[in-house]
Amino acid sequence: MLRACCLIEDYIQRFEITTLKDETCSMDNPMKARTTFGLMLKDDVVDNTLVGGSAHRLLRAGDRIVRVEGRAFDLPDLHALMLGDDVPGSHVEISVAEPFTGRVREVCLQRMESGKLGLRRRMFELFTCRNSPLLFLLRLLTRILAVKHRASSRDDQVSLDEIQECLSIWSNLMAAEDARWGEVAESVKRFKRTMLDLVAQVKNELRRQEEVQKREQLHSMVSEGWFMRCETQATDMAGGRGAGKEETRTERAGACRQKKHV
């Protein structure tokens, strides 16, 4: 729990850093829906909202949902009415009653992709974990800003210059880290493009080899057909010559018998 944020409390309010209750009924369930509001409900009462969700800052713990799209509802139908067509980017209008005054106000919520809100929830957990290094850095930065504020109020120029140098070094380190990760990302993109080009070349080579193989098969089939026709013609010619010789021998034998008879 982050109790105070000193000079950066305008960006992170203490009521934003809360403990998530997993046992509550949550709209953030990617197994059942593609969209979410980062809204945790107990029946029709808001129990908590997730930082980064569309319901954050618009709804507060204790608000009770009384109408969805201008219509009253039964409790079992609340989740289905809230999710609606389950399309990311679409909107739903709800009427909520404040816990103490009972004043009803209209709120328009946007359906968010569950995956994106899951990443924001992970960052929230990293920053709020008791032993989180990110939380340590946040506290360190808060203390540095507080010391800078006190030094400025006392007109302590030496301390102010040292703190300003620390902040500059920190900013340069962060910029260098961003640049390094940018180079890594660009290297990955180049590697991806190279792999895609290589895959395309392999596909083209496979298509070329397939075409060559088809041409060779066609040429082989044509050649085999030509040889078969030649063999058939040779067989037919050989059969014709044999029949002619047989007829000649038969005629000669008949002529000899006629001579003997005479």
Dump pLDDT digits (tens) for 14-68.
333 333 333 333 444 444 567 777 788 888 898 888 766 778 778 888 899 999 9
Asked if 53 and 38 count as a contact pair (C-beta separation under 8 A), the reply is yes
**Domain end: 86, 109, 128, which one?**
128
Are 61 and 169 part of one and the same domain? no
pLDDT of residue 23: 33
Residue 251 lies in a domain: yes
pLDDT of residue 33: 61
Taking CA atoms, 84 is separated from 36, 46, 93, 105, in Å, by: 11, 19, 11, 21
Asked if 46 and 24 count as a contact pair (C-beta separation under 8 A), the reply is no
Residue 134 lies in a domain: no
Are 56 and 10 part of one and the same domain? yes
Asked if 67 and 15 count as a contact pair (C-beta separation under 8 A), the reply is no
Are 216 and 258 part of one and the same domain? yes
pLDDT of residue 70: 87
Are 10 and 102 part of one and the same domain? yes
pLDDT of residue 54: 76
- Scored b (16 or more CB within 10 A) or e, 221-236 reads eeeeeeeeeeeeeeee
pLDDT of residue 137: 66
The string of pLDDT tens digits covering residues 206-217 is: 999 998 888 888
pLDDT of residue 126: 56
How many structural domains are present in the chain? 2
Are 161 and 123 part of one and the same domain? no
The helix/strand/coil state of 6 is: helix
pLDDT of residue 27: 46
Residue 136 lies in a domain: no
The string of pLDDT tens digits covering residues 82-136 is: 888 878 888 888 999 998 888 999 988 888 877 666 666 665 555 555 565 656 6
Are 169 and 251 part of one and the same domain? yes
pTM score > 0.85 for this model? no
The beta strands (E) that lie in the chain are given as 25-26, 35-36, 39-42, 45-49, 64-68, 91-97, 104-110, 112-113
Residue 145 lies in a domain: no
Range of the domain at 242: 156-262
Sequence-ordered list of residues with C-beta below 8 angstroms from that of 144, at least 6 positions apart, any chain:
163, 166, 167
The string of pLDDT tens digits covering residues 134-189 is: 566 666 667 666 766 666 666 666 666 766 777 777 777 777 777 777 787 788 88
pLDDT of residue 65: 92
Are 189 and 243 part of one and the same domain? yes
Are 121 and 188 part of one and the same domain? no
Mean pLDDT taken over the chain:
70
pLDDT of residue 87: 82
Residue 135 lies in a domain: no
Residue 142 lies in a domain: no
Are 111 and 205 part of one and the same domain? no
Residue 71 lies in a domain: yes
Are 107 and 180 part of one and the same domain? no
Distance between CA atoms of residues 14 and 18, nearest Å: 8
pLDDT of residue 66: 92
The CATH number for 29's domain is 2.30.42.10
Residue 146 lies in a domain: no
Are 161 and 253 part of one and the same domain? yes
- Give the pLDDT band (50/70/90) at residue 205: very high
